[in-house]
Chains A and B, each alone.
Chain A
């Protein structure tokens, strides 16, 4: 019995790392699954409208990469639905029915996505160009919808609604209210925009590398411009939505906000902490913008903001991880805004990319940076929710599977995902550079 209990303790760590790794991996390909069809369809649509073969060829070229990414996205997503039960039976057994509805909807969205993806990918020579373009539309609609549905479920974990707990029992479940909980609009909006940005900057980065290597033909140019412009257009919107999300967190999850801002003590009119690390209960090395946090939350310099000390120590998330992840996300988002503005200025003046090679170098960096921002944002919201799996309702420690051996699963998972990452990247690289200067 004592060994069982000991295994239970390490199970929590093993389960959290397993979930973090498999979700952190999936979130990147899932974003590409939402965003890449949009990028590809823009190219195909341009080709159809202008009657040129170049853009159609580019779309077809990209669709080969999309086929690989969609497949690994599908399987890495399936694993998550297994893990929900294998790792967190305490969550699913108790609340599966309350927040299951968006998952059922997501299932159908995924069906539509997979069906039309199959038709789209294999239909290049079987359908007329216009019909082929049309089959891409349900892929986009279903992709965006499934992102929305799955984030509904995650938002519920952050802001659980649609049930009551009476004498320890979950009663009066209302799946609709659960699905449209207060966190849903900001979280879903933030996530869908992130998916488009990650895709845009990542695909553009690949082609920026090609341009830096001297391939500056019109295909390469379009291949860079289409995804980059798409991402850059949505970046300002993302910053607005992100700001709304932060103000939502301030209102509904004050402890998470305190961790994000490294706000250790409850304070009236607190400053904004940029960077810095908490050591021995003191924030060190942070740049403080006077009254900044107060102004960001309410527009007034004298708002009272709860600190981490507003709750007992066993109800606080790990502050450094959340604070640095949040700052990283905001920092990268701001840098991407500047980069997009650079292109916008140049485009406005002379309908061309900036002449400086530094622009392309920065665009290469923007790809991995956007992924880093995505991961950092996800860490912010998920680690910031700890120690709760369902905010202030169910502790993560009480949801984990007590069966022995989850640590073994984690080790195997690390190996499998290392191989999978290596294989995915090498296969994508082998698809090769796009045709030269045609």
Chain B
């Protein structure tokens, strides 16, 4: 039963990276869009694309948190207690990103838009970075199970965490650039699509290089994870590499819808590669998934809720994306 919950948890986390992550990545490009006048159209495109969906996408994070604390309470408590600093930073980033985004949309003065825009864009970069350091800390086994035993600083200030943070920012901005290509073209803004295509190509190459270099980092810093990634998880890692290359090729020939699928699958392969890399441990070097899981009487109703909730959730999400991905009208104004 714990394995079933874990699949739900990991699927939720994957959805958060693919959708919520891309919303953060859009903020990264907002940051680099240039001055108020030159970047105006790009920012409008980004706002238009993520406006109706970012809150729903954001809920995946809350979903992952509550499932984790219900099904794996001791692991949840250990992660949150030890990694309080980067998680607090990420939490502030989340506040800043969401509120600044909606504030910018609601005011008409350019100067205010610039202030809120800067806050939105900066927090869009910092939040995935800190969440990435948390991933690095957990994946490299730096969170001990016992409360109060973790090193609150070095657990997340280390090569693996730094790699996690940089990769997170890179993956988010890469996905965003890829998604924005098709959005721009559908809206008839081919010049913007070209711009996002260049950015996607550049970021795709950069992320690939960081990931390759990251293998060396993990070799030195997280030998167990390295061994698993180059062992049982290797097919997934290769798949990710192949999908990444295919994505670059599809971008080169401007197949913007197809590249959404391959780029997303490449990221999925890495995330599930990480899962395989850590299996069967949840934390540290010894806390196994089964030992960390809540007892059956807790997991059974939880799985029922997860299954029932999914039945309700998926058609709703399909409706949301269906409405806002179906046409090119520019009237999506609140």
State the A residues within 8 Å of B (CB): 63-64, 67-68, 70-72, 74-79, 81-86, 89-90, 92-98, 100-101, 103-108, 110-112, 114-119, 121-127, 138, 172-176, 401-406, 409, 412-413, 416, 420, 423-424, 427, 430-431
Min CB gap B18→A, angstroms = 15
B52 touches A101 (CB 8 A): no
Min CB gap A6→B, angstroms = 15
Closest A residue to B150 using CB positions: A403
A104 touches B320 (CB 8 A): no
Interface residues on B, range: 35 or more
State the B residues within 8 Å of A (CB): 51-53, 55-56, 58-59, 61-63, 65-67, 69-71, 73-74, 76-82, 84-85, 87-88, 90-92, 94-99, 101-103, 105-108, 116, 147-148, 150, 152, 294-295, 297-298, 301-302, 305-306, 309, 312-313, 316-317, 319-320, 323-324, 329, 331-334
CB neighbours (8 Å) of A406 from chain B are 84
CB neighbours (8 Å) of A401 from chain B are 80-81, 84, 147
Question: Mostly helix, strand, loop or mixed at chain A's interface?
Answer: helix
CB neighbours (8 Å) of A116 from chain B are 316
In the assembled complex, the Cα of A321 lies from the Cα of B294 at a distance in Å of 38
A89 touches B81 (CB 8 A): yes
Q: Assuming the A-B contacts A121-B52, A405-B152, are A78 and B58 also in contact, with contact meaning beta carbons closer than 8 angstroms in the complex? A: yes
In the assembled complex, the Cα of A64 lies from the Cα of B102 at a distance in Å of 10
CB neighbours (8 Å) of A138 from chain B are 316
A76 touches B312 (CB 8 A): no
In the assembled complex, the Cα of A409 lies from the Cα of B62 at a distance in Å of 21
Q: Assuming the A-B contacts A68-B106, A420-B99, are A92 and B148 also in contact, with contact meaning beta carbons closer than 8 angstroms in the complex? A: no
In the assembled complex, the Cα of A431 lies from the Cα of B67 at a distance in Å of 38
B80 touches A92 (CB 8 A): yes
A107 touches B80 (CB 8 A): no
In the assembled complex, the Cα of A420 lies from the Cα of B67 at a distance in Å of 29
Q: Assuming the A-B contacts A82-B91, A103-B70, A122-B332, are A97 and B295 also in contact, with contact meaning beta carbons closer than 8 angstroms in the complex? A: yes
Min CB gap A359→B, angstroms = 32
5 A-B pairs in the complex with CB atoms less than 8 angstroms apart = A104-B306, A117-B55, A401-B147, A403-B152, A405-B84
CB neighbours (8 Å) of B313 from chain A are 108, 111-112
CB neighbours (8 Å) of B55 from chain A are 70-71, 74, 114, 117-118
B317 touches A67 (CB 8 A): no
In the assembled complex, the Cα of A303 lies from the Cα of B71 at a distance in Å of 45
Q: Assuming the A-B contacts A82-B87, A175-B297, A175-B301, are A118 and B320 also in contact, with contact meaning beta carbons closer than 8 angstroms in the complex? A: yes
CB neighbours (8 Å) of A416 from chain B are 92, 95-96
A75 touches B69 (CB 8 A): no
CB neighbours (8 Å) of B102 from chain A are 67-68, 71-72
Question: What are the nearest 5 A-B pairs in CB distance?
Answer: A100-B70, A85-B80, A93-B77, A96-B73, A97-B294
